[in-house]
Structure 1
Amino acid sequence: MARSKEYDENEVLLKAMQLFWEQGYERTSMSELVEFMGIHRRSLYETFTDKHTLFLKSLDRYGELMDFRLQQGIIQAETAAEALHFIFKYTIDENNNYPLGCLFVNAAVELAVRDADADMKATEGFAREEQLLEEIIDWGKQNQEFSHDFVSSDLAESMHNTLLGLRVMARTSISKEKLYRIADSSMKMLEG
């Protein structure tokens, strides 16, 4: 008779994601994962196959969480400008609350050059973020909040690049004031 799982798969996946987020892929050992996740090594292999697959599933879970968090804030925004301000604020403040940066950025910097799977996951995450930004920019153009001088997809790419830079800079001792000045400059670009 097959044994039932003695753990919540989603819960242990979140723990793995946290450890990869804190330490990176290469610095995280299987022994550390087993201990941190609170499961047996055999269970880890049966459920997640190997460390690499677990890391990729962690990236997927991170993407789902980020999408959910951003959507929750955007839903409450009454204007496109408010939605973008929320994204910038979330990026700056969340990084200061959890100085782990963005797991997609971390994966891209650490692994993308030599790991096609990690590169694909990070690239897909970045593409979703750019798509979200483009939709918000289109919303702002329709409501006459933003200038029509530039193509929305081009603006989304530029804004996404700014957000990625802010995620990296927020991990340093650079002041929040400077990060908010950078965000404000990006917003002014939309006004034309």
Structure 2
Amino acid sequence: MGRPREFDSDDALEKALNVFWRQGYEGASLTDLTDAMGITRPSLYATFGNKEDLFRKALDRYNAKHLCFVDEALKQPTARLVAERVLIGFAEAQTQPTYPPGCMGTGAAVACSDQSAAVREEIITKRVAMEVRIRRRLDEAKAAGDLPADAEPADLASYLMTVVQGMAVKAAGGDDRSCLCRVVKTALMAWPTAA
């Protein structure tokens, strides 16, 4: 029978998430991770797998904890409110005072080299899944007459995700929440409305 763990794996994962969020996947060394988590490399491997496995677990935690607002946004009664809640939710998530600025996924994906293609693909898969969820909600809005007949839900979902990723880059570059909220306001000026 093995020795019991001498650390809180949930707390350690939260600390790893913060390292990946600040430094990206490739920028976070195993030493950075184990130092922040307060564990040894053998403990990391035994509990979380390799660095890529740890990143995937941290990314899942990030999505569940910091992007949970998307579920509520998709329940809004109009397409415009869906768009507004998605954009405001991301503006808030990307500028939390107790977390690194920007988006963990966007930051990691942008900085991944070909050696980390599997990590980049994982991030892209999660982004595409979110975009698909938004598109489906906008499909419903169009079918209900809440969007103009010539509106393309897939293009609108792509537009929202493009704005969100741009805001992530701006937040990581030092822009604060008020700046991102102005971006949201401007982006919503282009949102189509049913006649």
User: Does the alignment reach a TM-score above 0.5?
Assistant: yes
* Structure 1 letter corresponding to 2:191: M
Paired with 1:159 and 1:92, the residues of 2 have a C-alpha distance of 12
Paired with 1:103 and 1:139, the residues of 2 have a C-alpha distance of 30
Contact 1:134 1:155 in 2 (8 A): yes
Paired with 1:96 and 1:169, the residues of 2 have a C-alpha distance of 10
* Structure 2 letter corresponding to 1:36: A
* Structure 2 letter corresponding to 1:190: P
Q: What corresponds to 2:191 in structure 1? A: 189
Q: What corresponds to 1:166 in structure 2? A: 167
Q: What corresponds to 1:83 in structure 2? A: 82
Paired with 2:113 and 2:60, the residues of 1 have a C-alpha distance of 15
* Structure 2 letter corresponding to 1:81: R
Q: What corresponds to 1:58 in structure 2? A: 58
Contact 1:60 1:121 in 2 (8 A): no
Q: What corresponds to 2:29 in structure 1? A: 29
Contact 1:134 1:153 in 2 (8 A): yes
- The percentage of aligned residue pairs carrying the same residue is 28
Q: 1:20 to 1:177 in 2, by over 3 A?
A: closer
When normalised by structure 1's length, the TM-score is 0.83
Q: What corresponds to 1:151 in structure 2? A: 152
Paired with 1:81 and 1:128, the residues of 2 have a C-alpha distance of 20
**Structure 1 unaligned regions, length at least 5:** none
Paired with 1:34 and 1:172, the residues of 2 have a C-alpha distance of 27
* Structure 2 letter corresponding to 1:168: V
Number of positions where the alignment pairs a residue of Structure 1 with one of Structure 2? 191
Paired with 1:162 and 1:148, the residues of 2 have a C-alpha distance of 23
Q: What corresponds to 2:47 in structure 1? A: 47
Q: Deviations over 1:19-64 (max 9, x none)?
A: 1111223332323322221223321121223223322332233233
The Cα of 1:181 is off from its aligned counterpart by 4.3
Paired with 2:72 and 2:112, the residues of 1 have a C-alpha distance of 30
Paired with 1:64 and 1:178, the residues of 2 have a C-alpha distance of 25
**Structure 2 unaligned regions, length at least 5:** none
The Cα of 1:16 is off from its aligned counterpart by 0.6
Paired with 1:46 and 1:179, the residues of 2 have a C-alpha distance of 41
- For CA contacts below 8 A with separation 6 or more, give which structure has more relative contact order: 2
Which of 91-100 and 171-180 deviates more? 171-180
* Structure 1 letter corresponding to 2:192: L
